[in-house]
Structure 1
Amino acid sequence: MDQIWALEAIYKVFDRRSIFYEEMRSQLNGKCTVHTLFKDFDKTDTTYTIEEKWMFLKFMHSCGLCFPLKANPSDPDTLYTYYVFPEFLTSTKPLLVRSWFRSQRVIVFQKQFEFLPYYPLHTFISKFGTKTTYDCFWRSGILIYTDVEELEGFCIEADFEKHTLTLTLDESIASEWYEAIVSSIIVHGDKQNAEWQLISGKMQNHESPFEDTMPKSTSDLENLPDVAQKVPPPIHRKKKIVISYAKEDIGALKMLEIYFKGYSNEFDYWSDQNQDNKSGWKETIKYEFEHADGYILLISPHYMMVDKKIIHEKEIPTILKRQKEKSVPVINLFVGAFTLTSSHDVSVFNSFNKGEVMPAEESKAQDFINRFMRDEILRKFI
């Protein structure tokens, strides 16, 4: 991979003027799905394929810019996987971390730097963030348990104004883990090359020949098990309606979208016409259909043709499953005359005004859509 080309792509979304940067700072608090990140790549002035976007993400991960947050550590990455970007995390130390400090007997070390940039700590958080839960890290620090049951662990915290790193260890693990931890924190250009200073506490001297006091290595730190993560709480958002249609009915879709745009403060909507970048469209369609809050099916003879494989083999089965499992509302909107029978899967969905067909005449079609918006969307969907 051309690293310069990849870096240019990454800097476009990390630019302080970018939509992604603003969203991560003000709304997402440093955590977003792969899908959100990929959509922001689409908002740049360059078109990237889905494969290129995955390469960019892996490159960002390898550079210490981010790391995945998974309920099951062994799960593969998908468009639904959350990624954490330490640069955008909250600056407030989490309550769980503050509680740990109060409950443990600890030893504290500190190192002074001539200048301490953000990247050493953020790289450390990205490398070891999977070893702890998302309520144990923040923009300037991370708490990692070496023994979850005993709540034994250590905390690394930076003060970027004073240019110091502080290492706080549980007293019982300090002699074993100290070297491994400080060896894992690399600050390039550290001209002072100062030593870590003991600020408080006392290192234990284990004299028992039966106790394993061999110091841990950096590989021991890296081999700590990944933990099952809690998925971040959902961010308040508007409901999203997904529209399923046949390309021959694009005119009806466009007319419907005109009305939808007038209610942009009430709800969002999506059809594959909203996708600027056509690469990776199958994954995007799958994601949107699996996460919709409601569906509108534009029923017509074209829509019901059996050779519409995406509609009948992908979209409708997903809608049926979502309605059964989540009671997601679905409405058939007839944009062409067609008689549904019990053999048609979509016959189980409610039809607007008992299957009334959108008139061809524009003024009558506008009245039809206005009634649909009033009686179905605003009263039942929103």
Structure 2
Amino acid sequence: MYPKILERCGHGGPALEDLRKVWATLGRIALPDAVKRDTLSRYARPDQALDVILDAAQAKGFRIDQLINEKLIEQDLRWSEESSREIIGLTDAGYPHLLREIASPPTVLYCDGRISLLHERSVAIVGSRKPTHAGVKIAATMAGDIARAGTVVVSGLAHGIDSAAHRGALVADGWTIAVFATGLDSIYPKRNRDLGSQIKEKGLVISEFPTGVGVRRHHFPQRNRIISGLSMGTVVVEATARSGSLITAGFAADQGREVFAVPGSVYSPPSNGPHQLIRDGACLVESGAQVLEGLGWLNPEKKKNNAPSEQPEWCREILRAVDFTPTALDQIAERCGLTIGEVSAILIRMECEQLVSACHGGYVRAG
């Protein structure tokens, strides 16, 4: 049979290299995760559990080579040789305790980057792959505020809100974790290759899938439970009624974590998901500070310092005329009773002050 790691390592338990091979094998073995978790829960050491799993499979008529591909295991071990990479198992001390608490935690996590971030307090920010301009702005700003408070921002590296959240955290010189739905040797979607590389360098990327595993539709819901499982709270910025982000929010609720939702226009389909969550009891939030406050992580002094400053007199009237969704220049001028030329001159200054942002279709309020 497959060489028993228990016999090779002696009664003191496996050495680090052997332990890594145990987890690499458990990550590749062609059996349901539920079987692996159940067996691991009944034995003190993962090498013992692996031997029991393999013995039971042989007793049922399986050949070891049907369950284990040695070449793929060696591939994973070679991948993990870099100092920033690790293969962490469910019963390891380094496994994130919040994730271990969920109903179906991954047996194995493949990690690349600052692995210590798995043990920092964290908040997930998720949302639509086709967000509005305002949604992107909100996600990035919220992530930046949360990251500056020393909290890790977790998301799924998808195009849209996920990417905006990761970028917002990075721009704020904060920490972010990206949970992949593929192996860590590939970045999906390809357009986020540079962003994924930045996160590996300055944050952490993780996956429950070993190297070489590509894009499969059913992997995305599996990934979503990890995003929420790593986090004390999940924020949904924009999502249609059938968005995968609502699956993530559902996982968060089932896991006993906080669910937050950012409201939007009733005329905007990406607002349907957050509005549904709010009707179902999610906490309505409009800023990163409100998320931190909802989790009890915002002290009174910090809350005071983060209070929005009063807008200067010269721009208040125009600011009231600009919506959080694209507002046309002529519409702004009409609301203010000014000429387009007068409004344009003031809007340029407001852009410099980061009070508004130019976008396709006009201008939007920056916050």
State if a TM-score over 0.5 links the two structures: no
TM-score bracket for this pair, using the shorter chain length? under 0.3
TM-score (norm 2): 0.27
TM-score (norm 1): 0.27
Higher strand share: 1
For the pair shown, the structure with the greater C-alpha radius of gyration is: 1
